[in-house]
Every structure is written in C-alpha cells, then in structure tokens.
C-alpha cells in the first residue's frame, strides 16, 4: 500500500489470484494517489488485467512477480477478471481500469503546476497533453525498442526519472516492461513521485488511438473492439496472453490456498 496515504481510513484489500487488490473504484484510487505529498519516495500503481494474472500464475515470471510484490497499490482492470472474482469466489473488487484512472487524474487531480514525467510516447503526444491540460512541466523520455533487455538503456531511463523529479510518472512502455521498469526505479531508492503503469492510456487520452465506444465498455467488450480495430496486435493478447485466465481461475477454485485465496467466499 502507498505508505503515506489514508492512514486514518484503511483500504479494504481482497486477494485474487495472488494479487492483493485495493477495493477502490476510479475516483477512490485517484484520491489515494492525489493524497501523496509532493516529493514522496517513488512508489507505483499496477492496474492488473487478465494478461497480468496469467503471466503471474501460469508463466511463472519471477521478475514480474517481484515487480507486483513491491507495487504500492494494485487495482483490478478488466471485466473478465471482475466477473471471475465475483462469480467464482464471491469477491467484491471494484474495477479500476488504467485508461479510466488516467482520465480521472488528468481531468480532476493533476494541475498545470504539477510536474509530470512520461516514459514512452511521442512528441505529438507531449504536444497534445501540454495543449489540452496546460502542463508547465512535462518531461518525456522515449526509450528505444527492446530497451528492457539493454542494461544501458534501462539505466538511462532510471537516471532520467531521478533527474526529472515529478509528482506523477506515467510509464507507458507496455506490460511487462512497464512493471519491470517501475520496480527498478523503486529499487534505486532515489526517485520521487507515483509511477503509473497504465498501458495505452495516454494514447487514448490524447486521441492518438481511438478508444472503444462507451457502450462497448459498459458491456465489458472493450477487448472485442480492440481486437477488431487492430487484430494483428490483439490476437495474441486476447487468445494467448489473456484467455488462460479461465484456467487459472478454475485451478484457484479447486485449490484456493495455493493462490492466496483461502479466505475467499465461494458463492
């Protein structure tokens, strides 16, 4: 949990498939993040979706597991994980997608004087963010392709975050790279601010990528819209990276203690 916030009002936590999710909706999560004072030691938020839970539980990615274990706050992203948590285990975990959280932060929390750093993106994205929100300090570093496997490139990113102190650090290099990177920034111990591993959220916010119509989102079908929109990139994400969530949930239903869910209430 983000150490500096909400000491007087404990946040309810529900563990689902080994992840301790904060039971916060989008406005509630934004308030928690906003409550952190400027200059607070770097901590980061992970908005875990089906592919995150599959990577953690089926692929046995130890590096990813370590990144999730050290995250300051976890929120549940995705209608399918929410459905499984509720129907199979009786868990009431609000949905807080990274894209919706990003909109909430920029429209209701981040002010023109709040320093913001973005890792990833493009100059066009930077220009649109500054123009729309009047940001006076927006620093952006775009690492090269494959940077996560290049120690020098990773060090350059970490050094940039440390050298450009910001209250909000948006890491949009894609999962699991964003989580790996946030973990390494945290481990460095000299950065400040709140890191947000929020996928394509800034592309949606700036209109560089069209987001699904609200009707799709209300029905939990945003994944289907994105599959039709860019099948070449989303076929694997849907059918290989995310679909095994049903297998993971079935295993957890049979052996909840192995998934940290021995206290879950099966309906």
C-alpha–C-alpha distance, residues 86 and 166, integer Å = 37
Q: Say what angle helices 26-34 and 98-108 make with each other, to 10 degrees.
A: 50
- Residue found under tokens 């990139």: 233
**Tokens of residue 22, six digits:** 């904060």
C-alpha–C-alpha distance, residues 47 and 78, integer Å = 9
- Please report which confidence band the pLDDT of residue 3 belongs to, taking 50, 70 and 90 as the band edges: very low
Nearest alpha-carbon partner for 98 in 51, 143, 58: 51
**Tokens of residue 113, six digits:** 């004087």
Contact of 191 with 171, CB cutoff 8 Å: no
Q: Give the rounded distance of the alpha carbon of 88 from its chain centre.
A: 24
* Choice between 154 and 3, residue whose per-residue pLDDT is larger: 154
* Choice between 231 and 42, residue whose per-residue pLDDT is larger: 42
pTM (2 d.p.): 0.90
pLDDT tens-digit readout, 45-88:
999 999 999 999 998 899 999 999 999 999 999 889 999 999 99
The pLDDT > 70 percentage for the chain reads: 83
Residues 6+ apart with CB under 8 A from 121: 140, 142, 172, 202, 203
Mean pLDDT, the chain, whole residue set = 89
pLDDT tens-digit readout, 189-215:
999 999 999 988 999 999 987 665 565
3-class DSSP state of 13: strand
DSSP state of 241: I
pLDDT tens-digit readout, 213-252:
565 556 555 655 465 566 556 555 655 567 899 999 999 9
Spell 125-150 as b/e; 16+ CB within 10 A means b.
bbebbeeebebeebbbbbbeeebbee
3-class DSSP state of 122: coil
* Choice between 239 and 20, residue whose per-residue pLDDT is larger: 20
């Amino acid at each position: 949990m983000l150490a500096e916030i909400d000491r007087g009002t404990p946040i309810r936590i529900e563990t689902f498939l080994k992840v301790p999710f904060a039971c916060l909706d989008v406005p509630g999560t934004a308030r928690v993040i906003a409550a952190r004072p400027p200059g607070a030691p770097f901590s980061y938020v992970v908005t875990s979706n089906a592919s995150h839970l599959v990577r953690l539980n089926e692929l046995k990615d130890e590096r990813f597991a370590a990144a999730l274990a050290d995250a300051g706050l976890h929120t549940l992203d995705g209608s399918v994980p929410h459905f499984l948590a509720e129907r199979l285990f009786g868990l009431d975990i609000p949905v807080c997608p990274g894209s919706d959280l990003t909109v909430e932060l920029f429209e209701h929390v981040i002010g023109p004087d709040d320093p913001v750093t973005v890792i990833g993106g493009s100059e066009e994205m930077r220009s649109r963010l500054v123009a729309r929100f009047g940001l006076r300090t927006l620093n952006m570093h775009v690492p090269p392709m494959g940077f996560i496997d290049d120690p020098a490139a990773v060090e350059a990113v970490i050094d940039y975050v440390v050298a450009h102190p910001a209250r909000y650090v948006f890491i949009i290099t894609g999962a699991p790279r964003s989580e790996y990177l946030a973990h390494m920034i945290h481990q460095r111990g000299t950065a400040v601010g709140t890191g947000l591993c929020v996928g394509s959220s800034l592309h949606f916010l700036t209109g560089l990528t069209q987001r699904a119509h609200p009707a799709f989102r209300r029905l939990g079908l945003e994944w289907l819209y994105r599959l039709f929109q860019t099948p070449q990139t989303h076929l694997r994400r849907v059918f290989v990276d995310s679909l095994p969530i049903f297998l993971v949930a079935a295993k957890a239903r049979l052996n909840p203690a192995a998934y940290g869910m021995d206290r879950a209430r099966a309906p």
